[in-house]
Amino acid sequence: MLLDALKKIPFKRLLLEIASVVFAVLLALGVNEWRKNLENEHLSQQALKNIVQEIEANKSDIVNGLAEHKRLSSYLDSTLKAYNNMPKENVKTVKKSFRFSYEHSVLNNTAWNSAQITQAVKFMDYETISTLSTIYELQAIYKDHGKEVIAAMGKVAFHEAEFKPFLKANIFNVRISINIEESLIEAYDAFLAEK
């Protein structure tokens, strides 16, 4: 009886149905994976587009800051030279006419942070991530340097310093700003040339 019952089961049809179900499940999983990859690619491209716009804006700010810092460096150098070559009785004239103002660009990193938070960076190529990491690390160094310069300017001891050490300290700080700005512009240009 068992053999008769087994003979009545359409094994070929049953195997065909099982294969059809397995194929349908695998197809659905494949389509779902394809859709997710498409979404991830779109997320990655949108994040990269936002980062490029952010870097272009930051570059513009840095280019303007670099021009101002080069002008300031020249002014500080000429003031120090005049101070060094001036008779002591005329030093007060240099001090009275001296004007010092330091400005520091505020750079954005919102697009980069957003790309990391949304994990869009997982879908970017390694070279792009490496380049962007370098750029945003340079920006962090620039930001920290600016904080230190501005914090030093706010201290009473800074304003009470002797004029010559005061000039030398500011020349040093402005030159550091210039070096970082030039490095940033070089990094920005290299990245933007690839995109």
Dihedral, 177, 179, 184, 190 alpha carbons, nearest 10: 170
Q: What share of the chain is helix, strand, coil (3-state, %, to 5)?
A: 85, 0, 15
Per-residue pLDDT tens for 156-188?
565 566 888 888 999 999 999 999 999 999 999
State pTM to two decimals: 0.80
Per-residue pLDDT tens for 101-144?
899 999 999 999 999 999 999 999 999 999 999 999 999 999 99
Q: What whole-number percentage of the chain has pLDDT above 70?
A: 91
Residues with Cβ within 8 Å of 166's Cβ and at least 6 positions away in sequence, in order, are: 158
Would you say 54 and 183 are in contact if contact means Cβ atoms under 8 Å apart? Answer: no
